[in-house]
Amino acid sequence: MPRAFEHPRVTLSVREPWPLIGTTAFGIIDRGTNVLQVRVTSICALCCIFCSVDAGPCSRKRWVDYIVDDLEWLKRWVADVVKFKGGDVEILLDGVGDPLEHPHITNVVKSMKEIDGVKSVALETHGVRLNEEIAFELAEAGLDRINLSIDTLDPVKAKYLAGRQDFDVKKVIEVIEKLVKETDVDVHLTPVLLPGINEEDVKEVILWGKEIGVGKRWPPFTVQKYVVHKRGRKVKGVKEMSWEEFWKWIEKTEKELGVRLKWSMEEWGMHQAPKIPEIYKKGERVKVEIIGRGLLKGEWLAVPLPRKDVVMTVVKVRGEVGRRVVVKVRENKDNIYLASP
């Protein structure tokens, strides 16, 4: 399988002086708890049929991907936010791609573990890049937990769900079993429930996790609800469950399998923590300079002038790096900015 960042889309290197707050595509997202989302790449090798963010080489909406490869710059930004939040922070390496696509993911984990106030580092992945060598390097680097998105144990169905005929779920299973048995890295299983497609598969994933001993220090399972997103992929013939239907399925499955699938924030070691206040208000007019393409076609990234303190996604503008334009902030939730003229 070719590495995902060899696909024909443009790949941008995110380095100083680009701000690392302001977009969902890369950098830091603070949602007001002691869990800090850190996104080091938007690249993914898979084309999952249910992908909510239209990731992977088959994407029809993206026209760029990102790799945050200036790790000192990343470390400085994360350290500042961790200090602001008062420590006791978990770094969750997640994203609109797969963190394991970062060419130096082991060094990313090491640098995050070195930050004062970071209590743990977790990583989300489908496991397509996992092999024994990478897994044990991550363990040695200090990775505390893998959140594994695995939706079936069946090799044929796994290829269908992943949208890749070269995806080998057996290999993922073997590596995870070895990791759980031989290292201190914990594993949390997060299958996506697709009504009419993988209900029984999800149960098999849970029973497999129970057998091999996932959930050493954190809850072992979280079943994800399939949600249709405006810019994501819709599975043909699958009707989205209501939340009421979903929770009924969860409760029924808990009783059937004798496992817990619902957890409190306290059980996750989560709590509210100081949140970086939104720097620019909705409706505020800001002069910005365009610095590169945004994630989706027609989007551009820009920085406010003269401060250049966040990155904004700007739409409905003539894209040209270096061009300056006055925009109005349309969205600013969690310091994720969308703006337009």
Report pLDDT digits (tens) over 242-281.
Answer: 999 999 999 999 999 999 999 999 999 999 999 999 999 9
| Pairing relationship of beta strands 118-125 and 145-148 according to DSSP bridges | parallel
- Residue pLDDT, tens place only, 201-253: 999 999 999 999 999 999 999 999 999 988 899 998 899 999 999 999 999 99
Give the percent of the chain with pLDDT over 70: 98
| Pairing relationship of beta strands 224-225 and 192-193 according to DSSP bridges | parallel
3-state DSSP percent of the chain in helix, strand and coil, to 5: 30, 25, 50
Taking the domains of the chain in order of start, what are their residue ranges?
4-268, 285-340
- Residue pLDDT, tens place only, 6-42: 445 789 999 999 999 999 999 999 999 999 999 999 9
CATH number of the domain at 4-268, please? 3.20.20.70
Q: Which residues contact 25 (CB under 8 A, 6 or more apart)?
A: 39, 42, 66, 95, 96, 294, 295
Tell whether the model's pLDDT for residue 5 goes beyond 70: no
pLDDT at 319: 86
With cut-offs at 50, 70 and 90, classify the pLDDT of residue 1.
very low
User: For residue 72, what are its two tokens?
Assistant: 């000192």
pLDDT at 230: 86
- Residue pLDDT, tens place only, 312-322: 999 999 889 99
pLDDT at 4: 36
184-222: burial string, b at 16+ Cβ within 10 Å, e else = ebbbbbbbbbbbebbeebbbebbebbbebebbeebbbbe
With cut-offs at 50, 70 and 90, classify the pLDDT of residue 132.
very high
Q: How far, CA to CA in Å, does 111 sit from each of 20, 76, 145, 300?
A: 16, 10, 16, 29
Task: Decide whether 4-268 matches 285-340 in CATH topology.
Answer: no
Residue 254 near residue 268 (C-beta atoms within 8 A): no
CATH number of the domain at 285-340, please? 2.40.50
With cut-offs at 50, 70 and 90, classify the pLDDT of residue 3.
very low
pLDDT at 10: 86
| Mean pLDDT calculated for residue range 163-172 | 96
pLDDT at 90: 98
Predicted TM-score of the model (pTM): 0.94
CA atoms of 189 and 148, how far apart (whole Å): 5
Amino acid letter, 10: V
Mean pLDDT of the chain: 95
Cβ neighbours, 10 Å, residue 158: 22
CA 87 to the chain's CA centroid: 22
pLDDT at 167: 96
